[in-house]
Amino acid sequence: MTARGRAVLVVGLLLAGVGWGLGQPPVIGVAAILFVLPLVGLISVRRSRYRLGAVRTVDPEQFAVGETAEVRLLVENDSLLPTGSLLLRDEVSEALGEPTRLLLDRIPSRAQRIVRYPVIGQTRGRTRVGPLSVTAVDPFGMARLTRSFTESNHVLVTPRIVPLGAVPTARMVGGHGESQSRSIATRGEDDSLPREHQPGDDMRRIHWRATAKSGELMVRREERAWRATATVVLDDRAHAHHGRGAASTFEWAVSAAASIAVHYFEHGWRVQAVTTTGRALVHVGVGAPGELELLLESFADAELHDAPWGKIGQGAAVPAAIGSRIDPGIGPDATAVVAVMGDLADDPAVLLPARGSGFAGCLAYDPHGTDAAASTMRARGWRVGAWSSTTDVAEAWRRIAPSSSSPLGAVPVGGAAP
Q: Give the domain ranges of the chain.
A: 3-47, 52-158, 178-220, 229-400
115-136 per-residue burial string, b: 16 or more CB within 10 A, e: under 16: eebebebbebbebbbbbbbbbb
Give me the torsion for CA of 163, 303, 355, 164, rounded to 10°: 0
pTM for this one? 0.70
- pLDDT, average across residues 258-287: 87
Give the CA distances from residue 90 to residues 47, 87, 399, in Å, rounded to whole numbers and listed in that order: 25, 10, 45
Q: Which of 160, 153, 131, 132 is nearest to 58 (CA)?
A: 153
Q: What is the pLDDT of residue 335?
A: 77
Instruction: Return left, alpha or beta for 271; rule: phi > 0 is left, psi -120 to 50 is alpha, else beta.
Output: beta
CA pair distance 333, 74, nearest whole angstrom: 53
Give the torsion sign (CA, 401, 406, 411, 416). negative
Among the ranges given (46-50, 296-300, 399-403), the one the predictor scored with the smallest mean pLDDT:
46-50
Q: What is the pLDDT of residue 249?
A: 94
363-374 per-residue burial string, b: 16 or more CB within 10 A, e: under 16: bbbbeeeeebbb
Q: What is the pLDDT of residue 315?
A: 38
Q: Which of 191, 282, 195, 270 is nearest to 225 (CA)?
A: 270
% the chain with pLDDT above 70 = 74
- Comparing 407 with 29, the larger pLDDT belongs to 29
Q: What is the pLDDT of residue 128?
A: 92
| 15 contact partners, CB below 8 Å, separation of at least 6 | 27, 28, 30, 31, 34
Q: Which of 77, 76, 59 is nearest to 68 (CA)?
A: 59
- According to DSSP, the residues that pair with 56 across neighbouring strands are 73
Give the CA distances from residue 130 to residues 71, 144, 153, in Å, rounded to whole numbers and listed in that order: 10, 21, 6
Q: In terms of C-beta density within 10 A (0-12 exposed, 13-18 middle, 19 or more buried), how is residue 258 classed? A: buried
- pLDDT, average across residues 372-384: 77
- pLDDT, average across residues 386-393: 90
What is the CATH architecture assignment of 52-158? Sandwich (2.60)
| pLDDT exceeds 70 at position 175 | no
Specify which of 4-13, 90-99, 196-205 reaches the highest per-range mean pLDDT. Answer: 90-99
Give the CA distances from residue 286 to residues 167, 198, 264, 329, in Å, rounded to whole numbers and listed in that order: 16, 36, 10, 16
In tens, the pLDDT along 187-196 reads 344 445 677 8
Radius of gyration of the chain (CA): 33
Tell me which fold the domain 229-400 belongs to. Rossmann fold (3.40.50)
Alpha helices in 23-145 (DSSP H): 25-47
Element containing residue 147 per DSSP (H, E): strand 144-148
Q: What is the pLDDT of residue 34?
A: 81
